[in-house]
């Protein structure tokens, strides 16, 4: 499946959160990651993130796209990552 992960975490947890996301996905913008991932790896990613964040202060959004047939991605401005999976 294709996922997009965004996060808004306290500054002291940004680096740890980013490193975890980089293990599984492609870093496309400051706190945005995307990529194709298996269900098992997505569960590992979620579990690792849950150990780092403080739920009362931080937020992580995970968008799961099962079928990219009707999905399109458009970039305006500087393109930080050359691969356009969608």
Evaluate whether 2 touches 70 at the Cβ level (below 8 Å).
Answer: no
Q: How far is it, in rounded angstroms, from Cα 83 to Cα 9?
A: 26
**What per-residue confidence (pLDDT) applies to 81?**
65
Two tokens, residue 63: 């968008």
**What per-residue confidence (pLDDT) applies to 7?**
97
**What per-residue confidence (pLDDT) applies to 73?**
82
Residues of the chain below pLDDT 50: 84, 86
- Give pTM, 2 decimals: 0.86
- Report which secondary-structure segment, H or E, holds 77: none
Taking only the tens place, the pLDDT of each residue in 15-29 is 999 999 999 999 999
CA-based nearest residue to 19, from 52, 68, 65? 52
């Amino acid at each position: 499946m294709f996922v997009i992960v965004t996060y808004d975490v306290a500054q002291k947890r940004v680096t740890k959160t980013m490193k975890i996301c980089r293990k599984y996905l492609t870093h496309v913008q400051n706190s945005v990651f995307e990529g194709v991932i298996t269900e098992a790896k997505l569960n590992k990613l979620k579990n690792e993130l849950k150990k780092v964040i403080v739920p009362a202060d931080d937020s992580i959004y995970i968008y799961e796209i099962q079928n990219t047939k009707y999905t399109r991605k458009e970039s305006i401005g500087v393109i930080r990552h050359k691969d356009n999976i969608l």
